[in-house]
Structure 1
Amino acid sequence: MSLYLDTPKSTTSHRHGSTKCNADPLPSPFGRKPLLTTSVNRPATASPHKRVAFNPVSPTPQAAKSLLSPKFDVVKSDWLSEQATRTCSPGRRRLVRTLTADRFIPSRALTAHRLHDDAPAPAASASPETYIRAQTSKYYKSSVAVACGLDMNQRILQFQPAPPERKPTIDLLGRGVQTVTRTLKPSIVAARARKVPTSPERVLDAPGIVDDFYLNLLSWSPQNLLSIALELSIYIWNASTGHVGFLTETDVLVSSLRWLDDGCYLSIGKENGSLEVWDIESNSKLRTMKGSDDLTRLLSHCWSSHLITSGSRAGNIVHHDVRVLQHAVQTITNAHKAEVCGLEWRADGMQFALGGNDNVVHLWDARAAVPRFSKTAHNAAVKALAWCPTQTSLLATGGGSTDKYIHFWNTTTGARVNSIDTGSQISSLKWGYSYGTGQEIMATHGYPDNSIGVYSYPTLQKTGEIVRAHDSRILHSALSPDGTTVATTSGDENLKFWKVWDLPKARVGGESTLAENDKQMRKVMTIR
């Protein structure tokens, strides 16, 4: 790819409700309620004989009609009897009624339940240990039921004949067919919580990193070069050799960093709205590009082949073509009502996603001037965006401190397919692969616990967690080119590396570049 070079210049370095039982046993088919009498011991009176007057009541037309109605025999609720018991108290006797079930009519509350009561699944933000306890309990119940010859999906009382048994297998060839009975484990047991290292592989000192949630100051290239901005300076760390190099010092604060897909060029977004492109091999600046709003900082930008799309604090986005002199090929004003803090192109270059401080996610087609979908499910700023590497139309978005949700979107239909309540502020999202659970997504968190959470997809179970990964909120993260290691930075001025995932199946034969130099990089180092 050829870049247009500027003129050389001097470069500075469903729930069931409670049922209320009526006092009357059964509703009377006549117009009035029957007289409920109870015998109570009373002191003998002077007259031992009593007269009981019989007053026949003819049924009303409505009652007679209900007597002939076929709905009269319909049982609408379980019948519960009233058993009168007496308790003695000083001075008087009082009547106490207790409810018991009839012996001929079974209680629906007893027959509706199955052999086991499915306990509610743990919340998505629960620890992996909670998932293990829930899964172990379910697996234990399943094992006991199988050992007792019980069907987990069978009712305790069945008012229907049993289905016919399956005919035995006919051995036509006389080879002695052997039937092997194997119990299938519950599907939830398949996704087990796994061991995630709670200690970083290595720690680098990063003094002077700007503690701003909306900036993007960390990027890892396909050539295994990690770039980081510390105040006005930009440094390059070679993960293969451990060498730290100084790239340049800017006149204003750096707001965003991003590598080209081939790892040869680094783009730098600055507070004054300008965008610089640097050649790493020659350690020289190729050109400086300015957008429509020069005085507004570029919080995020992303490469797509020869295009750089940048989002500014004013809510505008600009498409820059680095091959031509007039680089601003398209400018879209007011794409967001607030600053654009998240921007990601899809791998095929057909769509890109924008996240803003107005709590909105916009999904754009590459050649469209208006967004294809606008999503307002988040209640906080959306900085974390991540396209799934195995499903091109799957996008994950994460909200800030007042939202704490990860939403998964189908960018072809615009539908939300899943959500996770993480219980914490989300600053970044990364996709990865694990041998035990398959596809996973990692979220770095800010307040309140500054943790790292790993979730399996699509089961959404938390399979790993690193509590208190940093002393303050995690600001940025970057994924290594082999997809196994994640680098995180925080306001505590530490750059930490975590071995979270395994090599994908297609790359198992290869070897991680970081693993090759593991012995050399064990010691604590500093960027400067």
Structure 2
Amino acid sequence: MISGPSTPSRSRPAGSSGGAPTYESPLNSISNRINKTHISNHPKAASYPGKAKSNATAAAAAAAAAADRLPAAPHHPVFDVQKDWEPESSKANTGKKSQFSSSRGDRYIPNRDLSRSMTSAESLLENTGGEALQSSCSSSTGPQQNAASIAKANQLPTDVAGSESASLEAASGLTGNGQRILSFSAVAPPSLSAPDTHARYAATKPKALPTSLTAGGKRKIAHTPIKTLDAAGADDDFYGNTLHWSARNMLAITLSSVVYVWNADTGDATSLFSLDEQNERVGGGADARVRSLRWDAEGNHLAVGTDSGHVQIWDVNGQQRLRTLKPHAEGGADNTDMLASAWACDGTLSTGYSSGLLRDHDVRMRESLIRDLDNAHSGAVCGLAWRGDGALLASGGNDNVVQVWDRRMDAPKMRKTNHNAAVKALAWCPWNDSLLATGGGLADRAIHMWNTSSGSRLHSIQTQHQLVGLHWSLAYREICSVGGDVNTVTGYERRGAISVWAHPSLANITTIESPHESKAVRHSTLSPDGQTLATIGDDDNLKLWTMFETSEEVAKDALKRNGQSALGGAAHERTAPFATQARSRGLR
């Protein structure tokens, strides 16, 4: 006959005369039997037989006494699983808690309010007054009873402010604004270290400009130069490039056979060297001419090309010539005018000759020649420009061809023949690496904009002037074109123009007609901060124009980005920094 589960009996310990009764559980006998087995099988029990025997005897006596008072344990096997870790709180409360108490972590009620009182929760857990909450592992509790218990618990009233729930909220650091403990709609706290998503991806507002520039809703550009310098003997050849502004705010210019450097910060001009005083083996001589000038990216070194094909590299700060790249002694394509040059950001120097030869030099090496393209153009190479990252080189020639070269290849990446005259003006866009602007000569007078990645023409502007220079703005989406001679119905006239065009609308913002007193403009260059344009014309004057004036904040950003300094002074001033030194040499 199989009996039902036994009920624990109530007994008193021996020798006690009163006090509260104690409860003995049938699990104690099982625990005692397991402990006895562990002790008898322990390795140290063999070393101390007497102690093991006494422990076994005591355990057997305790088991026999328990068997006399309690019925036999149930026939189901019981396993004692030892925990790896038990919190101190559970050890302290094991004496008073019932083994059938409900666990707080078993119930997930997302709609319970944060202000649920502690008193109501404790009344449920302590099972005082009302129906008992059965454990989830109890066999007598069904799904219907569990649902009824949950519904009853949710119907309990909440506390008002000032009760024990308020202290719970204060201790937990909660705001008490009605937010629920388990809520999927809770909003994450705002981050104080980074802007929100909208501010991160929203378009930035343009910097405020001076009021004189925004009067009438349109930017105004002054049509008078801010400074005029006497520059007698300037090169009047369209194909040469004898004016360039460095990153250190130093302006290099050629007057006759003398190379001058004008410091835009201080206004001082110094003579770097004169070709007529140099030996012919470095390109000098009585009839020698300078055909091109170009600063490197840092503004420390100046490359000077001569009409004999020699290329001199000068350290301007040290006032000394570092090396000379000589043409072949037996003659050839490099024994002609070196009309154009360009420095890459890594120090590569490219040179173009009137014979159509194009060369790349690494001036840090003894054998500097790293690429030699004999027939890069069928006419004179009169324009060269490296892209900002030094990956692509643009070249323009007197054969009306524009080409883009990958430095790793000997064949052009892009070749365009849309111009109808020599291409001297070349300009890479500062905010779009794939955008290249080119300008044609007197028979063409057109500006073309190319996508060098796809090889397609994006825009075209038809002007009335021979294009001698193109300059992108660093602060605006605009481009400035400098025109030399103008072609009219009766023929060409020697008067130039300076125009500013919007991109990509191609609207004309302003045009300065005859900037050099009805004389042709021959060369142009832009200041390192991108605000001032320098032009030189047949009137023997070097003029400075404010073309892309910006606010102080934008100008500082441009200077910081390029490591350059700004040109000071806004009032018009006419000086002759080169005249005194030229007269002392008998040049004027």
Aligned partners of 2:538 and 2:425: how far apart in 1? 18
Q: Does 1:442 align with 2:480?
A: yes
Distance 1:502 1:268, change over 3 A: same
Distance 1:515 1:249, change over 3 A: closer
- Residue 523 of structure 2 corresponds to 476
Q: Does 1:238 align with 2:263?
A: yes
Aligned partners of 1:526 and 1:247: how far apart in 2? 14
Q: Does 1:526 align with 2:562?
A: no
CA contact (8 A) 2:229 2:574 kept: no
**How far is 1:372 from its partner?**
1.0
CA contact (8 A) 1:433 1:504 kept: no
**How far is 1:368 from its partner?**
0.8
Aligned partners of 2:556 and 2:366: how far apart in 1? 44
Query: Which one of the candidate residues 311, 325, 336 is aligned to 1:296?
Result: 336
Distance 1:234 1:409, change over 3 A: same
Query: Which one of the candidate residues 434, 448, 451 is aligned to 1:393?
Result: 434
**How far is 1:194 from its partner?**
3.4
Q: Give the greater-gyration-radius structure (CA).
A: 2
Which structure's residues are more often helix, by fraction?
Answer: 2
Q: Does 1:214 align with 2:239?
A: yes
Letter in 2 for 1:412: S
Deviations 1:293-346 (A, max 9, x none): 342110001011221110100001011110111111211111100000000000
Q: Secondary structure at the match of 1:476?
A: strand
Aligned partners of 1:192 and 1:427: how far apart in 2? 31
- Residue 300 of structure 2 corresponds to 264
Letter in 2 for 1:297: D
- Residue 535 of structure 2 corresponds to 488
After the TM superposition, which residues 114-513 of structure 1 pair with which residues of structure 2 at under 5 Å, given as runs?
A: 194-250=219-275, 251=284, 252-291=288-327, 293-304=333-344, 305-433=346-474, 438-448=476-486, 449-470=495-516, 471-503=518-550, 507-509=554-556, 513=565
Aligned partners of 1:389 and 1:235: how far apart in 2? 28
Aligned partners of 2:570 and 2:219: how far apart in 1? 23
Q: Secondary structure at the match of 2:385?
A: strand
TM-score by length of 1: 0.61
Amino-acid identity (%):
40
Aligned partners of 1:360 and 1:504: how far apart in 2? 39
**How far is 1:502 from its partner?**
2.4
Deviations 1:187-216 (A, max 9, x none): xxxx97532111100000101112100000
- Residue 101 of structure 2 corresponds to none
Which structure's residues are more often strand, by fraction?
Answer: 1
Aligned partners of 1:285 and 1:509: how far apart in 2? 33
Q: Secondary structure at the match of 1:507?
A: helix
5+ long unaligned stretches in structure 2: 1-215, 276-283, 487-494, 580-588
Aligned partners of 1:224 and 1:403: how far apart in 2? 33
Distance 1:372 1:192, change over 3 A: farther
Q: Secondary structure at the match of 1:416?
A: strand
Q: Secondary structure at the match of 1:211?
A: coil
Distance 1:276 1:198, change over 3 A: same
Aligned partners of 2:380 and 2:300: how far apart in 1? 29
Aligned partners of 1:336 and 1:193: how far apart in 2? 43
Aligned partners of 2:521 and 2:309: how far apart in 1? 25
**How far is 1:525 from its partner?**
3.0
TM-score by length of 2: 0.55
Deviations 1:168-205 (A, max 9, x none): xxxxxxxxxxxxxxxxxxxxxxx975321111000001
CA contact (8 A) 1:196 1:466 kept: no
CA contact (8 A) 1:483 1:503 kept: no
Letter in 1 for 2:510: G
Aligned partners of 2:415 and 2:471: how far apart in 1? 22
Distance 1:277 1:362, change over 3 A: same
CA contact (8 A) 1:224 1:481 kept: yes
Q: Secondary structure at the match of 2:573?
A: coil
CA contact (8 A) 1:451 1:467 kept: yes
Q: Secondary structure at the match of 1:446?
A: strand
Q: Secondary structure at the match of 1:372?
A: strand
Letter in 1 for 2:521: I
Aligned partners of 2:372 and 2:419: how far apart in 1? 26
Q: How many residues align?
A: 334
Deviations 1:420-478 (A, max 9, x none): 011221110001156xxx31100111122411011011110000111110132111111
Aligned partners of 1:282 and 1:441: how far apart in 2? 36
Distance 1:329 1:465, change over 3 A: same
Letter in 1 for 2:429: C
Aligned-residue RMSD, C-alpha: 1.9
Aligned partners of 2:228 and 2:267: how far apart in 1? 12
Aligned partners of 1:389 and 1:206: how far apart in 2? 31
Letter in 1 for 2:535: T
CA contact (8 A) 2:264 2:568 kept: no
Q: Secondary structure at the match of 1:425?
A: strand
CA contact (8 A) 2:357 2:374 kept: yes
